[in-house]
Amino acid sequence: MESKLKIRELRLVPSRKALASLPDGKVLINTVNAYSFVTAQNDAAFAEALRGGDYLIPDGISIVKACKWLKVENPPEEKIAGADLFAFEMERLNRKGGTCFFMGSSEEVLAKIREKAAGLYPAIRIETYSPPYKPVFSEEDNAAIIAAINAARPDLLWIGMTAPKQEKWAREHWHELDIKCHCGTIGAVFDFFAGTVERAPDAWVRAGLEWLYRLLREPGRMWKRYLVGNPLFLSLVIRERLAGKD
């Protein structure tokens, strides 16, 4: 498998503390982990979406370790999970008040999000949109999604349709979104926040074993991502290290 996206070309937010330094305005924030990095090798549109966002956060301890092993310039200091980005942005918006728009997932999950957010973030008005469950949206689907987001005039936008669909959708329709706020593609965080999927306990996260916890909890869905994807990621990193010595 030929690597198209390189670890050395990723420009990553270095730490959770650095999230406070991101500029205001229309900003697209994507995440990258071992799974998405491997997936992007054979998906040019996904690779371009990861390259083309405004900021990229290292949502995987493997990305952090690979950057250090490859001695990249300005390596990330720590993993920044999508859940970390979510908490930071929601707490900041709650302090000043505003509208947050969730696009993605099922109506059942979105209902749980609205209920929980009302208690945790009372100063935030929550708007949601559940898109059709299909591999590819029609032009009518896309137009309806964009119209709903633009009509809400959000102060924060979350897109949660899992990778790589969410990143490619945001990249393709970025110029049609009439927003002036941060937009994060955060996938599983919708389920974590709603409580429909349990996130790993803090001890597992601190130990860099969140991937193992997810594998043990959902082996049927996660085995290929981790048991096949992780060795592929390691091979790509090794090849990049060897290529750098040529």
Tell me the pLDDT of the chain averaged across its residues. Answer: 94
pLDDT for residue 1 is more than 80: no
Secondary structure class of 103 (helix, strand, coil): strand
Q: Measured in whole angstroms, how far is the alpha carbon of residue 195 from the centre of its chain?
A: 18
What are the pLDDT digits (tens) for 151-164? Answer: 999 999 999 998 99
> What is the model's pTM?
0.94
- pLDDT score of 32 more than 90: yes
* pLDDT the model gives residue 206: 86
Instruction: Give me Rg for the CA atoms of the chain.
Output: 18
Residue 240's pLDDT band, with cuts at 50, 70 and 90, is very high
- pLDDT for 245: 61
Q: For the purposes of burial, counting CB atoms within 10 Å of the CB of 96, is it exposed (0-12), middle (13-18) or buried (19 or more)? A: exposed
Task: Summarize the confidence of residues 180-202 as an average pLDDT.
Answer: 94
pLDDT (0 to 100) of residue 205: 87
CATH class given for the domain over 7-195: alpha beta
Mean pLDDT of 114-119: 98
Tell me: pLDDT of 2 over 50. no
Contacting residues for 130 by C-beta, under 8 A, at least 6 apart = 104, 105, 106, 107, 110
pLDDT tens for 68-93 read 999 999 999 999 999 999 999 999 99
Mean pLDDT confidence for 170-174: 98
Mean pLDDT of 224-240: 93
pLDDT of 186 reads 96
pLDDT at 164: 96
The three-state secondary structure class of 13 is coil
Q: What local confidence, expressed as pLDDT, does residue 244 receive?
A: 77
Any idea where the domains of the chain sit in the sequence?
A: 7-195
